[in-house]
Structure formats: structure tokens, C-alpha cells
Chain A
């Protein structure tokens, strides 16, 4: 800051504004309060949801402020940007001072110095200077490290300190927030999130990206070799497991097992087990007509003639669980080219009265299905920024909360008492960058037994 008294320049006023703690406090509180909105208002619904569910004015506001996706809205991003700016400007503005303090040599001993310190103690001892010195310095040396001799107007002076690096704790925290922000930005700019479904035995080389219907071409092939599920005895799912293999130029390069909570990364692209489905291949029916029974193998989506009749059957759909009644097949009955009947046939409920088409009663004897496994497929080049940022933040917190720069000065002089006896006078003083109460307690404990 310049020493003249002219009004502050606009530049320095802007810097002051963006570096102020007030701005930080206001931004933290605004972010906290506005974040509530997105937890109350359903997010990511289609526009019609907001038009029908809310008044016209609300719907307009929701649209203008992008409240349907508020954490990615323009104004929320602006708030985050302001917070980042606040952190940067405040850190840049304060850092030179901190650096100066960090580099500063210990202050020389004087009466004035000791009077300015948080903790002060004067002792008058009968031991000689040498014994006193070694006694005190070894006591203080344990928590404060090696004593550094300082020039003294008379007698001897020493300086001890601990935690000089703590001056940087707050910068570590601020930097960590910026690293996390850059990780998030890197992820959204250079990464992608997509989805992939593969049938057992099938091969895929492209994935669907989230958001606008986009397809991403992979430069390798993924094959689902096997999908398996296991269950606990009470029927709850225990494990979903996909055995994948990765192929390039007709050659298998790598095999991997992907489970929930246990993803696999190939060439920087990570596959997460996310869903599953079943894909029917064929179904064997027992057909009952009048008193007669016959078996018929029906491949999916292939119109198959019922022998000795003018009828044929076509299995068009399969669902895993129809209204909690288990697997079901959508089957159409044809007479020649004409559609006569259609129904859901329940596989697990053979006697269900709806299991009929025309005169036929259908019973599922053998259902051959194949699994489909669904994967979340991501690439996030920012993820290491997130982990490094989070770790730095925790380290920064521990430094700022639990350590502080503590400085101790010791000044030892000989003085003559009134009876002419030579005594050793010791001045001990200490200060701390923060949490001074703890320093005073610590110093009292250390100097108690001298």
C-alpha cells in the first residue's frame, strides 16, 4: 500500500472487495441457502413436469433460473466462480506478507521485545550461567527443537521455534479448493459419462453418452463373456458380476471382472457394473387344446407354425417381472396371416387362467434366456485432482487447526544481588501465531520446574 493519503485507486478497491472475508462469508452463506432449493425442487425432470406441476409464474422462474438443473445453472456457476476468485485474490494479496514473516529472522532480544510477548517469565536463580543455560535449553529443546544463539547486549540469548510452516496452512486449504474446482472443470470438459449394454456373448464398440443422444466410438471392442448373479438366502441380491474381455484388431488384449463397487479401467475408460436385464432366446411351451398336449419350441421373434393346425405363434416380448408375477412373455396367435389373439403368458404361474390364446392353453416348460449387463462407462481426467485436492484440504485443516507457529526467546544474564551474591537472571518469553491460550499453558508447564 502506498503511503500517500490520496483516495484509493479503483483497482485497489476492487482488490479489497474481492479479497475480503465479508465476501467469503456472504458467498458461503448464499451457496448454503441456495443449495437448499435443488434439494426441495425435483431436479432433471422434463419441461412438462414443471409446467404442469407448478403455477405459471413458478414455471417461468424455474425456467429462467434453470432451477430444473440448478447446480449447473448460470447463476450457481457464477457464485462458484466468485468464490474461486475470492480465494485467489485473497490468497495472492496476503501471501507476500506471510512470506515476509516466514523469511523474517528472529527479532533481537530487548526489554521491549519481552514486554510485547504473550507469555513472559523472569527467574532469578542461584546456579551459575552455564548450568542454568544447559538446563533451560534442554527442557525447551524437547518441544521446540535446536536453540539458535542470538546476539545479546549482555549475557547470552537464544531463540527456539516450532511450526514455522504453519503460516502456510490456510494457503494449502485455499489451494485445495481450487484444485477440486479445476478437477470438476477438467472432468466436465475433457471427460465423458456414458452407458453401455451388452448381451452375453456379444461385442460392442460404442457407448451412448448422457445428455443429448450422442454416440462415442471406442477404439477397442468389449465382449461380455459371462454375467452372473448370486443371492442371499432371503432372496436379496449379493453380487452382480460381469466377465469382460477387451479386443483390438481381432486379438484379445485383456480380461477383467467387473462387480458393483469394483470397476475396471481399460485404456483410461472405466466400466462400472450398473444394471442387468434378461434377453430371451427361445421358449418351450406345452400347448393344451381339448385333451391333447404337445410341445413346441418357439424361438423369440420368429413366427412358428403349430403342427397339424392352421395356427402359428409369435413371441414378441419378454419382461423379467410383470406386476410382481415373475417373468412373462408377450405372445401373438395367428391364423394364417391374421392376428387372432394376444396375451401375456406367465412363466412361473402355469395354471394362471390368462395363459391362453384362442383355444390353446400355454404352459412354459423351458425358458432359455441370456443376460444383458449394463455398465456406466466414464472417463474423468479430473478425478486425481479431486483426490489430491481432498487430501490437501485435510492436511491444510490439520495444520491450520492444530499447529501454530510458536516462538520462544530466552535471555540469560548475570546480576549482582544486594548482598553481593552473583545470581543468574533468566527472561523467558514466547508468542504464537494463534491459539495463544494453549501456548501459555504449555510454557507454564515447561518452565514450572526450573
Chain B
């Protein structure tokens, strides 16, 4: 059965590409007008993306195996891109700055592109194995990915901070493109705001995940690589928050810690699946 949702989602992939491209053009060509197109495309594509996820959900019911489209790598990437776009839209509305889109939207595009173009990606709607039939799993996936997306945007903001910071001593005309970024203090505050959202959601994600594990297997924590890496990520951000709140760390050091935290997020999401599982099967062979 040909999926309508798959077609819509490939449109979404191109949509995010053009949105990211327009954000970049607006910055590089110093034409804020183009930024309005970028935002316009983004809003339209976010709507289409939402629609496509709903269509995929409906299609799963038409196949008689109805479940929320959050059950495999393909669906998780689609949802991840959606959460990035959502968190970014919120930040853009809050700050009014379209330069953040240059750094945040490529992540949404990359997630979609990976889902759409990777040759090994299974985009079929498949029924749920008994262990996955749990509402806690849905809560777990939603909270984790919203958290991941907040960390993604935080990482984008940290990159902007690190690009802008060394230029702040220069005159505005000599700063180059970072002159158009939000002020250093605004970036620093946004990095913190997105991290606390991410940290709260990651905690909620780990908690709902352990409730699910407990009902499925009778253990709320079993130190498997995925769980452990989510804890490592959590510990890194916990250290960051202590450094910021108790030691008064700001700016550059927090930006670097935020990038390290995001690297842990990526490893928890992809690395555990591809590198560690490989190591394990290799070790066992």
C-alpha cells in the first residue's frame, strides 16, 4: 500500500531545506525580507508536517494495526524534526530574531533527510510488538524527543554564542555576520532557558521510560546502554546547571558544556543504536 504520509513527508523534507536556505540567505545577503519568506515556509511546512504525522496515524488504523506513529527509527526521526521545528518557532516568536533559524533549521532538515533518504530506513507502518503496546511508551517518546529538540536548539544557540563572543570587542561594522545575531546576553539567557526545558523533559522522559520498563519487564532500571547514555546526558546537564546556578558560570563555558551535552544526546539517540550494538554483537561473535 502506497502511503500518502510518505509523500507528504518527503515534501516536508524539501520544505525544511528551503526554509533553512532562506534563513541563511537572509543573513548572508543581509536582506531581512528573505527571512520573512523563510518563516512563512517554516510555518506552512510545520503545518504540513503535523498533518502528515496525523495522516500516518490514520493510515495505521486503516491497516488495522493502529498506533501512534512513534514506534521505530523512521517515525522517531520524523517526530524529532517536528519537535525541533516546534521549539524553534517558539524561540523565533519570543526573540523576533530570524538568525537562529540558520543554525537550528538545518537540524530539522537533516533529521528529515536521514529518515527520507537513508537506504536502510524502513518507512513501512508496522504493527506493535507486545512489549511496545503501552501508553507509557508514547509519553516516553514524546517527552524524550521534545527534550532532545530543546537541547538541539540550545546547541545551535551555543554555536552562535561562540561565534559572536570573540567579536563583541569589535565595532559593530567589523563584526561581520555575527553582528546580526541576538545580543550576547540574550543568547546566554536562551541557552539556559532551552536547557532547563530540555532537562525537565529528559527527566520526565527517563521517568516515564522506567515506568514502562517496569510494567513490561519488572525492572525500572537495568543499566542497558541506552538507559546509561541517557543518564550520562542527564549528568552532564546536571553538572552544567550546578555550574551556572551555584558557581555563576556564564557565557563561553556554558556554551561549550551545552555542545558537549548535545553530543551526548546524539550518542544516546544514534550512537547507542549503531556503534554500541555493533560492538556488542562483535564482542559476542
Contacts and interface: CB of A to CB of B under 8 A. Distances in A.
Given A232-B65, A397-B200, A239 B283 contact: no
A437 B189 contact: yes
A393 interface: yes
A391 B206 CA distance: 12
A71 interface: yes
B218 interface: yes
A261 interface: yes
A33 B191 CA distance: 23
Contacts of A32: 231-232, 235-236, 239, 264
B133 A393 contact: no
A273 to B, nearest CB: 8
Interface stretch (A20-28, A120-128, A349-357, A414-422): A20-28
Nearest to A390: B207
A237 B129 contact: yes
Nearest to B235: A32
B231 A387 contact: no
B215 to A, nearest CB: 5
Interface in B187-223: 189, 196, 199-200, 203-204, 207, 210-212, 214-221, 223
A330 to B, nearest CB: 27
Contacts of B276: 39-40
A236 B200 contact: no
A193 B229 CA distance: 24
Interface in B223-261: 223, 225, 228-229, 231-232, 235-236, 238-239, 242-243, 245-247
B3 interface: no
B242 A238 contact: no
Contacts of A115: none
Interface string A201-215: 000000000000000
Contacts of B216: 260-261, 272
B204 A236 contact: no
A260 B133 CA distance: 8
Contacts of A400: 245
A164 to B, nearest CB: 19
The interface size bin for chain B is 35 or more
A53 B196 contact: no
Interface string B119-132: 00000001101110
Contacts of B264: 32
A376 B235 CA distance: 31
Contacts of B220: 383, 386
B170 interface: no
Nearest to A377: B218
A230 B218 CA distance: 23
* B64, B199, B236, B239: residue with the most chain A Cβ atoms closer than 10 Å: B239
Contacts, number: 116
A395 to B, nearest CB: 11
Contact of A378 (B130, B134, B218): B218
Interface in A337-383: 376-378, 383
Given A32-B232, A36-B232, A387 B211 contact: yes
A237 B196 CA distance: 40
A232 B217 contact: no
B279 interface: yes
Contact of B130 (A24, A31, A259, A394): A259
Contacts of B73: none
Interface residues of A, number: 52
B35 to A, nearest CB: 25
Contacts of B242: 21, 24-25, 28
Contacts of B279: 40
Contact of A393 (B203, B214, B231, B246): B203
Interface in A1-45: 21, 24-25, 28-29, 31-32, 35-36, 38-40, 42-43
Nearest to A379: B218
B200 A272 contact: no
A397 B147 CA distance: 14
A263 B213 CA distance: 12
Contact of B235 (A31, A184, A239): A31
A304 interface: no
B131 A28 contact: no
A227 to B, nearest CB: 13
Contacts of B189: 437
A391 B235 CA distance: 18
A262 B215 contact: yes
Contact of A236 (B127, B218, B283): B127
Interface of A: 21, 24-25, 28-29, 31-32, 35-36, 38-40, 42-43, 53, 71, 184, 193, 232-234, 236-240, 259-263, 270, 272-274, 376-378, 383, 386-387, 390-391, 393-394, 397-398, 400-402, 434, 437
Interface of B: 64-65, 126-127, 129-131, 133-134, 189, 196, 199-200, 203-204, 207, 210-212, 214-221, 223, 225, 228-229, 231-232, 235-236, 238-239, 242-243, 245-247, 264, 272, 276, 279-280, 283-284
17 contacts: A24-B242, A36-B232, A40-B276, A43-B223, A184-B221, A193-B219, A233-B64, A236-B129, A260-B131, A260-B216, A261-B131, A263-B218, A273-B130, A376-B218, A394-B203, A394-B207, A437-B189
